[in-house]
Structures are given as C-alpha cells and as structure tokens.
C-alpha cells in the first residue's frame, strides 16, 4: 500500500509568483531570465521558490539562499552559477545543495537553471533570551529518574523495579554528533576517573565560513554543553571523595556515559547561526560517519516550517543522514503555548519545528518531572510543541522525555551564565555533604526545553546501538516508540497523542525489545474530513500489523477521534505561512525558567 501524503493548498502558481518579479528586477524578468552565456534557455520558474524565499526576494538587495539540485553538484555548475551573478558561500560534498548570496535578478536567473530544483531562504538563527530571568532555586533541582532507570541525574531507586541504567550498556563505541553551540571541556566527558582523556573525538566549527577544526572548549553559549552532558556525561564532578565528612552523595551522569561525542558547532555565543551552517554539519557527518562511527545525530535546534518537509533543505539533509544509517533525533520545539510567556494560556497545536516535522526523524517533546523522581505526576511541559505538523500534517512528536529544569554540565564562561547569573547553578549543598575547604566549585547548571529531552533520546539510541550495532535508524525509532509508556500518570489520565506521541521514553523496555521493522518507521499522517480525524496508517509503514498496530504504538484508540482536541479548525483550513522564519536552539526564557 502506498503512503498517502496529506494534500495542502498549492503555493501560488508560476503566473502569480511571476508578478512579484516587478519587485526584483523590472518587467524584463516577467519574460524569463536567461543566464548570461546561454547555458539556461528556460524561463524563470517561480514555482521553485519556497514562500520564505519569495519574501527575501521582495526585501530587495543581496540575500542568502539554499539551492537544492536535482542531481549531485558538478564542477561545471560552479561556473554557471558564477555567471548568474550569485556568490557561492558554502559547498557540500555529500548533499546536492549549495548556499549562495544573490540579488533579485541573480536569483531569478538561478531559478531558470534546469539543474536547480528548489530555492529556499538561508534562515537566520536567533536567540530568545532578551526577557529571561532566572526563576529556579535550589529547591527546584530535579533528580531525573522519570524514564525508569537508576538516576540519570540523581541517586533515587529505579522506578517499577527497573534494572540499573542501561542494564550494563553505556553507549561504548557509539559516537553521537551534537550539532549545537559547541562543547566545553569537562572531565565529565572524560573516558574514566583514571583516564581523563576526552570522549569528544572530533569536531568542526561552522559558525564562520572558514570551518575550523576544533574538538572542544568552543561553547561560548552554554546550550551545547548541557545537551552533551545529558547525552554522555559520566558524573565525574559529582563522584568525589575528599575525606570522611566531605564527599558527594548524588551523581549526575548522562544517559550514555561511555559514548563518544562529535562536536559540530553551528550556533554562536548568542545562540545564532544559519541553516546553511547546520547543513554543513550534517554534510560533515555524512562524509565522516564511518571514520568516527557516528550512529546518532542530535539536533536541538529548529525553525517554524515555511514549506513542506519534502522541500525544506534541513529536512532533506536530515533524511539523507537517516538513510545513511544515522538516527537523527530532533527537538520538537518550545512553541506549545498560545502565549509564549504564559504557561496558563492554553495549548498551541501544530507547532512542531523543522526538521522535527520530517516523518523519518525521531522527534521528541518534553515532560515536566515536577521535582519528583516518580513519573506518576509528570505532565507534558506546557511549552513543548504539539502536533500535527503544519502543511504536511505528520503526527508528531514521536515520544516525550524529561525536559524541565534538567541538571547538566556547566559552561562557566558561557553567555548564558554571564547574562543570567548564578540563579540556575546547582548548589554544592545539593550533592556535597560539606565543602568547608572552599576548593570545590559548582560544575552543574539547569536548563529546560525540548533540547534537553532530545538529549535523553539520543543517549537512549546510543545504548540500543551498543547492544546491537546492526540496528537501523528505523529499528531504533520503532523500538523506542513501541516500548514508550502510553499511560504513566497515577490518576490514570494521559496527554493526547498530539502532545505525547507514542508515549514516555522507557529505556529498559526498549533495550529488552527484539523487534525489527521491515518497511521503515515513518511517522503517520493525520487527516480531517470535516467530521472526524483519522490517521493514514498502513502495514506498508510498519510491517506486521499485529506487532506495530495502532494499539501497540499509541495506546488508547479513543484518542484518535476526540474532536474536542480540534475545535479550532484553523489548523486544518489555513495553509498560510505563520510565525518567524528564524532557526534557533532552545536558548530562550523557557530554557531558563521551564514550567
């Protein structure tokens, strides 16, 4: 059975878009734009433009674009592009894409080239910390045992009689690429207490176009270091003994404390960057995956979708990484509130970020552990982005994991800490019996958001891949979704599937699962015929219906048809673009305050 793609209203046709040519180069462009030298005899094809690209064209002047080619980029394409008047900013060896700068007439000539399939804006990354204020005190520090293992970030007993964290697996031998703001040097990322050499085995800095090779100590923001600690921190700084009265009694270890990390920096000290830089990082992974055994990519960044995942360059690059054998884990986004700064403002559905809106990748929402180790009181965090995805109506997120006020590595020189002060520092008294000598300094910091949740799932993927290196990305996604807890609250209620996906991350159950998928694990599409909401589900996606049926993955079947969730038909009827076209990491007020 073929996958039925959700239909959306087409973007304005060529005739309507051509009218905008008056804004970018005069009447002459309405008759088509030929490349000097005659390489392209086609007229300008305005249907190649993503809507966001048209907005940048209207803005005038030289703008940044990402070009997608119908085939691999050839050396001869470089001279052709040069003659259009475009300036090449980035080339990719493993992606059929290129980042350029071009003015209106030049980009019109680019659209006339038959080898170019899509022109999208090179979206800008922005930080969202301007109104942030630390609101978390020592009493709010969380021991994160909500996923059912012995203390990722604490020492409480395992819930539900679960085996110790990872059941003996640590992610050893598996490399996780952290595409973020960099990673600070820390002995929590060392190989062991006896061997303090770093497990950050490779890296590259894409913030500047020079693409400097750098391993660590390059996180000027603080976001990437926190994500890295959640994935692979070993808790070295919280596993200390000074004397009989001075020692640590809580250990803050990551999910896969034996995994290696690859540090690919795309966000600057302000948490800002570009899609083209993120593409360069994914391209690097594609070229170096076998050298460093990169099996997982963590993308705790995103942007509000401006086009279908089928043409979005970041989604398409993520798909290529997935098909190359790397599990791509994406943060769902922090846009789940109707009013961003008001947790009581209600749920905003249809707010999943790109590239998390792609049906291949593993998209993660956030839960709030409510400062308790037990999961029975955990809701989905109010800020966690909800599905389905805009434009394509893919059912997302795929699952949820802890994301609120998570303890992770401190980057003492970061912009986050310098601007926000010590309010989110984890006090020494929380994990040391005494520090009378004064030589011990705080080494941990708290942040919130789906970025943190993605780190949990990336670590979980590393554990599964250490146990069985033959697993495909589809196997990993399917096991994590199938074994996720569908109902976990003690009152018997559960969030709707557009908020929780397949459920709450459950690593012991995922490690115990031996099922494989035969036809991929694409997230299903959701449709609304005006009377009910259904899921376009078929055996083609998951294979054995008895194994991967709706009940196995999603739990309560009644949740599919609840119209109360969708009283607002605007999500289904309004295909207009919305929101800010910027790309960002979860460096926001949510990151500091959480729920």
DSSP 419-454: HHGGGGBPPGGGTBS--TTS-----EEEE-SHHHHH
At 106, is the pLDDT very low, low, confident or very high (cuts 50, 70, 90)?
A: very high
For the chain, the C-alpha Rg in angstroms (whole number) is 24
**Spatial separation of the C-alpha atoms in residues 47 and 568, rounded to whole Å:** 31
> Which residues touch 539 (CB under 8 Å, ≥6 apart)?
1, 519, 545
Instruction: Kindly report the average pLDDT of the chain as a whole number.
Output: 79
**Spatial separation of the C-alpha atoms in residues 589 and 334, rounded to whole Å:** 10
Supply the DSSP string of 336-363, one letter for each residue. Answer: -BSSTT-TTS-B--S-PPBTTTSSSSEE
User: Phi/psi zone of residue 32: left (φ > 0), alpha (ψ -120 to 50 degrees), beta?
Assistant: left
Q: How many helices (H) and strands (E) does the chain have?
A: 17, 17
Residue 546: predicted pLDDT: 40
**Spatial separation of the C-alpha atoms in residues 177 and 471, rounded to whole Å:** 18
- Residue-wise pLDDT tens digits, 493-545: 888 889 999 999 999 999 999 999 888 899 998 887 766 767 775 444 444 44
- DSSP conformation class of 223: H
The answer to which of 356-360, 445-449, 478-482 has the lowest mean pLDDT is 445-449
Residue 558: predicted pLDDT: 38
Which range among 250-254, 526-530, 554-558 has the greatest average pLDDT? 250-254
Q: What is the mean pLDDT of residues 165-174?
A: 80
Nearest to 357 by CA among 383, 324, 396: 396
At 579, is the pLDDT very low, low, confident or very high (cuts 50, 70, 90)?
A: very low
The answer to which of 199-203, 402-406, 412-416 has the lowest mean pLDDT is 412-416
Axis crossing angle, helix 450-467 with helix 223-232, rounded to the nearest 10:
30
Residue 270: predicted pLDDT: 83
Q: What is the mean pLDDT of residues 333-362?
A: 93
The token pair at 206 is 């894409």
Half-sphere exposure of 82 (CA within 13 A, CB side): 5
Residue 341: predicted pLDDT: 85
Q: Pick 115 or 594 by higher pLDDT.
A: 115
The token pair at 140 is 């709010």
The token pair at 183 is 């990673």
Q: Pick 476 or 520 by higher pLDDT.
A: 476
What's the CA dihedral at 182, 184, 190, 195 to 10 degrees?
120
Question: Phi, psi at residue 241, to the nearest 5°?
Answer: -140, 120
Residue 584: predicted pLDDT: 54
Q: What is the mean pLDDT of residues 347-355?
A: 94
> Which residues touch 219 (CB under 8 Å, ≥6 apart)?
180, 181, 182, 183, 184, 225, 265, 411, 414
pLDDT at 383 over 90: yes
- 91, β-bridge pairs: 98
**Angstrom distances, CA of residue 212 to CA of 123, 409, 437:** 22, 24, 41
Residue 372: predicted pLDDT: 74
The token pair at 126 is 């922005």
**Spatial separation of the C-alpha atoms in residues 202 and 179, rounded to whole Å:** 12
Neighbours of 202 (CB within 10 A): 19
**Spatial separation of the C-alpha atoms in residues 197 and 536, rounded to whole Å:** 49
The answer to which of 163-172, 240-249, 565-574 has the lowest mean pLDDT is 565-574
Residue 592: predicted pLDDT: 57
Residue 554: predicted pLDDT: 57
- Residue-wise pLDDT tens digits, 293-302: 999 999 999 9
Find tokens 């109707």 and name the residue: 338
Residue 283: predicted pLDDT: 98
User: Which SS3 state, helix, strand or coil, does residue 65 take?
Assistant: strand
Neighbours of 541 (CB within 10 A): 21
pLDDT at 567 over 70: no
**Angstrom distances, CA of residue 220 to CA of 217, 455, 515:** 8, 19, 42
Residue 594: predicted pLDDT: 61
The answer to which of 241-250, 263-272, 378-387, 548-557 has the lowest mean pLDDT is 548-557
State the sign of the Cα–Cα–Cα–Cα dihedral 345, 346, 347, 350: negative
Q: What is the mean pLDDT of residues 98-126?
A: 89
């Amino acid at each position: 059975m073929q996958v039925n793609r959700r239909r959306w209203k087409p973007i304005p046709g060529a005739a309507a878009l051509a009218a905008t040519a008056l804004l970018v180069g005069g009447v002459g462009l309405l008759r088509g734009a030929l490349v000097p030298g005659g390489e392209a005899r086609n007229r300008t094809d305005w249907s190649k433009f993503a809507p966001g690209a048209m907005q940048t064209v209207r803005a005038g002047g030289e703008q940044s674009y990402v070009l997608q080619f119908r085939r691999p980029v050839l050396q001869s394409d470089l001279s052709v592009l040069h003659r259009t008047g475009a300036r090449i900013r980035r080339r990719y060896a493993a992606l059929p894409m290129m980042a350029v700068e071009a003015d209106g007439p030049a980009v019109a000539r680019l659209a006339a080239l038959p080898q170019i399939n899509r022109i999208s804006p090179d979206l800008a990354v922005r930080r969202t910390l301007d109104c942030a204020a630390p609101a978390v005190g020592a009493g709010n520090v969380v021991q994160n045992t909500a996923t059912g293992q012995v203390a990722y970030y604490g020492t409480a007993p395992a819930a539900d009689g679960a085996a110790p964290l990872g059941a003996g697996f640590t992610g050893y031998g598996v490399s996780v690429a952290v595409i973020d703001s960099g990673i600070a040097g820390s002995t929590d990322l060392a190989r062991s207490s006896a061997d303090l050499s770093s497990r950050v085995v490779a890296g590259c800095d894409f913030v500047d176009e020079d693409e400097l090779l750098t391993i660590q100590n390059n996180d000027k923001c603080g976001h990437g270091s926190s994500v890295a600690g959640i994935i692979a921190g070993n808790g070295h700084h919280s596993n200390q003994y000074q004397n009989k009265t001075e020692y640590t009694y809580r250990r803050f270890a990551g999910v896969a404390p034996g995994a290696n990390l690859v540090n690919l920096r795309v966000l600057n000290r302000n948490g800002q960057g570009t899609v083209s830089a993120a593409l360069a990082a994914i391209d690097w992974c594609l070229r170096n995956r076998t050298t460093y055994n990169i099996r997982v990519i963590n993308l705790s960044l995103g942007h509000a979708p401006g086009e279908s995942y089928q043409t979005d360059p970041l989604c398409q690059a993520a798909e290529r990484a997935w098909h190359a054998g790397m599990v791509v884990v994406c943060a769902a986004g922090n846009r789940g509130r109707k009013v961003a700064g008001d947790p009581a403002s209600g749920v905003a559905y249809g707010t999943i970020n790109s590239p998390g809106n792609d049906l291949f990748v593993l998209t993660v929402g956030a839960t709030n552990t409510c400062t308790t180790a037990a999961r029975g009181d955990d809701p989905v965090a109010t800020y966690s982005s909800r599905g389905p995805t805009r434009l394509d109506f893919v059912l997302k997120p795929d699952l949820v994991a802890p994301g609120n006020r998570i303890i992770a590595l401190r980057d003492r020189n970061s912009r986050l800490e310098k601007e926000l002060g010590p309010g989110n520092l984890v006090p020494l008294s929380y994990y040391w019996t005494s520090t009378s000598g004064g030589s011990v300094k705080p080494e941990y910091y708290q942040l919130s958001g789906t970025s943190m949740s993605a780190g949990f799932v990336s670590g979980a993927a590393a554990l599964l891949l250490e146990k069985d290196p033959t697993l495909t990305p589809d196997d990993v996604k399917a096991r994590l979704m199938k074994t996720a807890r569908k109902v976990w609250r003690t009152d018997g209620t559960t969030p709707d599937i557009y908020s929780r996906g397949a459920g709450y991350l459950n690593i012991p159950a995922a490690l115990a699962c031996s099922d494989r998928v035969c036809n991929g694990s694409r997230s299903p599409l959701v449709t609304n015929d005006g009377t009910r909401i259904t899921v376009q589900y078929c055996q083609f996606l998951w294979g054995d219906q008895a194994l991967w049926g709706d009940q196995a993955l999603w739990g309560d079947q009644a949740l599919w048809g609840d119209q109360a969730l969708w009283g607002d038909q605007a999500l289904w009827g309004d295909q207009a673009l919305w929101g800010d076209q910027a790309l960002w990491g979860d460096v926001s007020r949510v990151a500091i305050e959480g729920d």
